[in-house]
Amino acid sequence: MAVHNGGSVEVTELVVAYGGGRGLPTLLLPGATDTHLYASDTHTLPTRVDLQWRTPDGERHQQTVEVAKDMVPKGSRLVMVRLELGTDNRWEVSVDRVR
């Protein structure tokens, strides 16, 4: 899973939680990408990802994004879930084929 800051402000205390796991708080500068590993014995993607973060004005934000099975490219054996923070301070999700 990759998170990308496509906005113009620094994001602090970013926490990504999915599949029963929770990452450590991360700093994500504008234009930066951070990768979180996701492993599952059932070989299924998480159906939702919970994100929490703080913006430079000190405000805390949270958002849940849904990961739909139909987002996975057909024939994929390995995929990367990509979350991108836009300039509107909202996360968008996409699923890219790795192989």
Residue spans per domain, the chain: 2-97
Q: Residues 3-29: pLDDT tens digits?
A: 999 999 999 999 998 878 888 899 999
- What is the pLDDT at residue 12? 97
User: Per-residue pLDDT tens for 24-72?
Assistant: 899 999 999 998 765 544 456 788 999 999 999 999 999 999 988 788 8
- The partner residues of 93 in beta bridges, in order of sequence, read 83
> How high is the pLDDT of residue 38?
56
Residue 81 pLDDT grade (very low, low, confident, very high; cuts 50, 70, 90): confident
CATH code for the part of the protein at 2-97: 2.60.40
pTM (2 d.p.): 0.84
